[in-house]
Structure 1
Amino acid sequence: MLGGGTLVAVNVYASATESDQSGQTATAQVLSAPTVYCPDVGSRLTDVPDAAREDVDGELAQLDQQIVAAYQQLKESAAAIQQNPGLADQTILDPLKEKRSESLQRIADAIGREGDRPQGLDDLAACTLRSSDQGAGQSASPQDGATPSQSASASASASAGAGIGGQGGNGPVAADYADITTVQPNVTTPAERPDGSTGTFASSCGVNANGLFNSDNVIVAPGVSNGAHHFHDYIGNQSNNAFASDDDLANADTSCADQGDKSTYYWPVLRLQNGKQERDADKPGGGTEGNAGQIVTAKKVTLTFEGNPTSKVTEMPRLLRIITGDAKAFVNGPANANASWSCTGFEDRQLKDKYPLCPSGSDVVRTFRFQSCWDGRNIDSANHRTHVAFAAADGSCPAGFQAIPQLVQRIVYDVDAPSLQDGGRTVPLFAVDSFPEQLHKPVTDHGDFINVFDESLMRKMVGCINSGRTCGAGADEQPPSQSADPDPSESASPENPPSESASPVTEPSDTATPADPPAETESAQPSEPPAEPSATKTAAGDTGLPQVYTSASPKKSSGTGGGVISRPTERPATETPTGTATTAGAAPAGQEAPSTAPQTEPQAVQGDLAETGAHLWPALFGGVLLAAGFVLLWRTRWRSS
């Protein structure tokens, strides 16, 4: 009896905590773990002389590299810190502070040589550790008067030996996902005025099918290889890397159908954490920094330039640079965050800090609405933000700013909702690339744009938008809410059409969405756009060109194979006390009827019966021994009586 009971207990416990091939614990809830928080220096530098920009950008890139190295050391030392909390200060935080102090001193010196020396930079040197389950914007300082090492010990104690999810070991976790069918519609649009600009202009630049990726960021870290520490998708301009000059961008090839658009559009790649070894698996920015798994090629990308509901728009200046969102929003807080996640058929509800779990037949959508007000003078600024601004809730621009066409990037992916209950073993997790210490949080999503439109095409864009027309080579590719002829594959189900207000809005202060344009459509390009350039470029380290990796888009499994979320049959109609909605209704003909109970979370598949039996046969054998022991004991007592 004792042997059988022990065998049952040991086997059941082992099965409950069994790790997959990548060594990650297969459970729905993953314990918290620490990450490195350092004050963001770049956002504080709003006045950097042009002559000092190169030196300052280089030092800012060094600060990022220092944080990355400290975070990697933290991951490796979690168990040791649990045993000796002082190690966090001695081996990680104190050395990091010293290195940051030296970099901050050099930044102050560079600026001081050309102008007024900045004050207070030394106050930004110290870093702390924060728990990975703290939401963006929460205090990153040690709580209740604890020292950094005490905070580190608490976090390390919670996570020692467990990891924090994801193939790269630094996220995401189950709490980073939300069932889109439980989200209430939250998209609003401002009222349009008679003097507003209601037209749209669309550019068609492909989906990066030729696989142009690198981990540079020519806007934030020009001249620095791997300045982003995560990989970007690039469409449009084909010469974007850390070393691309304005002339390089102007003379580059473009994947856009209209060759007058050589603008560069880029964003972090989306990966399936399915164990696939991409060509960047052992490269900086890729696997060596926790960005692991299969890069997913988008199913569809639409690039729309919209007007302003309160005024006409003016031309964007050539080489204008805009960043929307914050790649460090998890530790910086939500001040500059502008992530927006949804699913086709549900785009009247947008998620800012969760990845969406889409029902069968619906695709994942990430949307970027860029700043639509310009200061009228600068194509960039020291912190890459203050030269542009979001419009107010009514669509008006701040004093001193003028309205420009608003770029809206909509990226659609054919990926299944992951199986959270088994840690993504059955259906893999998906997440965007990120700085390692940002833990692949969805709130860190961001987009970048450099305007390299020909001036004549820019004038045409502005004229089209101001006159209320629909123009551009991509006009017939717009999503259902913007096109008179929606793509049937973009709709979740006949019962779930997008609402009339489903144009995604991610920034509360920038909600300008033009009315449905007139039926008149002007196309400036041939009906057959040129194919995207072939992937013949070599690695940046060899020629200075962007690194190129190619990756096929994964096939979406059928709704019966994944079984992750049952397809909803109508819009959520009731709201729970926590503010999430529930769905009800009968399934359409030919589909399995859903449960009558409200579905509040996705259903995960945890393996088939054969797999379960193979894992639990020792427990079965133990059960037989236990039963036999009971029988033997009963017979012995019967005979003795």
Structure 2
Amino acid sequence: MKCTPAVALALLAPAANALLRFPCAQLLIDRRDPLVNPGQSPSPHLHQILGGNAFNTTMDPSVADISKAATCTSCQFSEDTSNYWTAVLYFKAKNGTYKRVPQIPNSGFDGVNGGMTVYYMQDGLYNFQQTSKVTAFQPGFRMYIGDVNARTREQAERFRQLTYTCLDNINTRDPQTLDFPTVPCKAGIMTALRFPTCWDGKNLDSPDHMAHMAYPESGTFESGGPCPATHPVRMSQLFYEVIWDTTQFNNKADWPEDGSQPFVWSFGDGTGYANHGDYIFGWQGDALQRALDAPCYINCPTLKSQDVAAMNKCTVEREVKEDIDSWSTTLPGGHVANYVKR
């Protein structure tokens, strides 16, 4: 997918566009993962979590509607108490020590505390009218995308559109790669995660948190490709954009002596192929379906919005008491950079 300068600007212009795109501030950074490691604290690696403050270590599946337990959300739309999370990015210096890379808000979302940008799309990123009808996720719905053990391009290609962009400026969107950029990026690194869009119509979750969802059987979501018969219900495409402020690490004299790129995920992946994301639906009532049926952009008359101060104020206390910000010889949980095929 190519993004011309005109398209990049259109993404940021609120005029008549109908793309549901909004910021979520950081709820917490912690070693908890109630989807893959429910009840385990600390979980194996560090995550950045966003959304509703009902987030907890277990996220008991029997409590289907988490929106009823949340009292605030770190997202722009106060009716969205879903939880969104990804791994955390680290820099590996020449001396082998690690430092956490901070997140910064996307263009147009100044003041938001890190976090990321969330999209729900009916017709793909570059169709601004968004006229197709799609089904909203339901209370209890959960999904995951990616493979934490992937270390090769072939393993990463199983998942469509988990990419990196080396930002020349905050609005850069291409080229996109499956692995980490190998040169210093002027404005940071953006990770993009697009989730599958075809639902089996029955299961709100599955053992691997993926099997109940599928990609179109031909073409792509953007091209209107049909859903397979096994997963006939066309859902909106959930899409995350995370901007990592790698600019403070752009001095190549600090990079590993062997010339390798210096960035690594919090669980040790130094290839970038193990990029992944998690989602638990938590919109209140029919708010998401209303928004998808009457598309809007940033300021949605069908949804209740809150200001940046309210978004930043919604936080959850960290459960795992460890230093995640100082230089360290290992990543949280004792991980080290790993480039080995698994």
Counting aligned pairs with the same residue, the percent is 22
Q: Is the 8 A contact 1:373 1:403 kept in 2?
A: yes
- Quote the residue 1:384 is aligned against: 209
Q: Is the 8 A contact 1:275 1:294 kept in 2?
A: no
The answer to whether the aligner puts 1:218 opposite 2:34 as a matched pair is yes
Superposed, which structure 2 residues align to 1:122-141 within 5 Å? none
Q: Is the 8 A contact 1:299 1:412 kept in 2?
A: yes
The answer to whether the aligner puts 1:242 opposite 2:57 as a matched pair is yes
Q: 1:411 to 1:422 in 2, by over 3 A?
A: closer
Q: CA deviation at 1:267?
A: 0.3
Q: Distance in 2 between matches of 1:254 and 1:298?
A: 18
**In structure 2, what residue type is equivalent to 1:377?**
K
- Quote the residue 2:317 is aligned against: 537
The answer to whether the aligner puts 1:324 opposite 2:145 as a matched pair is yes
Q: 1:213 to 1:452 in 2, by over 3 A?
A: same
Superposed, which structure 2 residues align to 1:64-103 within 5 Å? none
- Quote the residue 1:433 is aligned against: 266
The answer to whether the aligner puts 1:351 opposite 2:177 as a matched pair is yes
**Per-residue Cα deviation, 1:489-529 (whole angstroms, up to 9, x for no partner):** xxxxxxxxxxxxxxxxxxxxxxxxxxxxxxxx647335624
The structure where strand makes up a greater share of residues is 2
- Quote the residue 1:267 is aligned against: 86
- Quote the residue 1:444 is aligned against: 274
Q: 1:431 to 1:359 in 2, by over 3 A?
A: same
- Quote the residue 2:13 is aligned against: none
Q: Distance in 2 between matches of 1:447 and 1:333?
A: 16
**In structure 2, what residue type is equivalent to 1:450?**
I
Q: CA deviation at 1:350?
A: 0.4
- Quote the residue 1:340 is aligned against: 163
- Quote the residue 2:331 is aligned against: none
- Quote the residue 1:454 is aligned against: 284
Q: Is the 8 A contact 2:74 2:314 kept in 1?
A: no
**In structure 2, what residue type is equivalent to 1:230?**
H
> Could you list the runs of 5+ residues in structure 1 that have no partner in the other structure?
1-184, 190-197, 277-289, 477-520, 541-546, 553-641
Q: 1:380 to 1:274 in 2, by over 3 A?
A: same
SS in 1 for 2:103: coil
**Per-residue Cα deviation, 1:259-283 (whole angstroms, up to 9, x for no partner):** 211100000011233599xxxxxxx
Q: Is the 8 A contact 1:369 1:409 kept in 2?
A: yes
Q: Distance in 2 between matches of 1:369 and 1:446?
A: 10
The structure where helix makes up a greater share of residues is 1
**Per-residue Cα deviation, 1:456-495 (whole angstroms, up to 9, x for no partner):** 212212212xxxx324xxx16xxxxxxxxxxxxxxxxxxx
Q: 1:365 to 1:525 in 2, by over 3 A?
A: same
Q: Distance in 2 between matches of 1:550 and 1:329?
A: 24
Q: CA deviation at 1:377?
A: 0.8
Q: 1:275 to 1:234 in 2, by over 3 A?
A: farther
**In structure 2, what residue type is equivalent to 1:333?**
Q
Superposed, which structure 2 residues align to 1:250-261 within 5 Å? 250=67, 251-252=69-70, 253-261=72-80
Q: CA deviation at 1:186?
A: 5.8
SS in 2 for 1:244: coil
Q: Distance in 2 between matches of 1:223 and 1:334?
A: 28
Q: Distance in 2 between matches of 1:363 and 1:243?
A: 33
Superposed, which structure 2 residues align to 1:223-622 within 5 Å? 223-227=39-43, 229-246=44-61, 247=63, 249-250=66-67, 251-252=69-70, 253-273=72-92, 293-300=98-105, 301-308=116-123, 311-330=132-151, 333-337=155-159, 338-342=161-165, 343=167, 344-355=170-181, 357-360=183-186, 362-391=187-216, 392-393=218-219, 394-395=223-224, 396-399=226-229, 400-416=231-247, 418-420=250-252, 423-424=255-256, 429-434=262-267, 436=268, 439-464=269-294, 469-471=295-297, 475=298, 522=301, 524-526=303-305, 528-529=307-308, 530-533=310-313, 537=317, 539=319
SS in 2 for 1:458: helix
TM normalised by structure 2 equals 0.69
**In structure 2, what residue type is equivalent to 1:308?**
D
Superposed, which structure 2 residues align to 1:39-58 within 5 Å? none
SS in 1 for 2:287: helix
Q: Distance in 2 between matches of 1:422 and 1:220?
A: 35
Q: CA deviation at 1:382?
A: 1.8
Q: 1:523 to 1:420 in 2, by over 3 A?
A: farther
**Per-residue Cα deviation, 1:201-259 (whole angstroms, up to 9, x for no partner):** 234321x1x6x1222321122223344x2210001133434323243944134212322
**In structure 1, what residue type is equivalent to 2:155?**
G
CA RMSD of aligned residues (A): 3.5
Q: 1:357 to 1:241 in 2, by over 3 A?
A: farther
> Which of these two proteins has the greater Rg computed from alpha carbons?
1
**Per-residue Cα deviation, 1:428-458 (whole angstroms, up to 9, x for no partner):** 9332212x4xx43211111111111112212
Q: 1:325 to 1:315 in 2, by over 3 A?
A: same
SS in 2 for 1:459: helix
Q: Distance in 1 between matches of 2:291 and 2:48?
A: 25
The answer to whether the aligner puts 1:201 opposite 2:20 as a matched pair is yes
Q: 1:351 to 1:222 in 2, by over 3 A?
A: same
Q: Is the 8 A contact 2:90 2:265 kept in 1?
A: yes
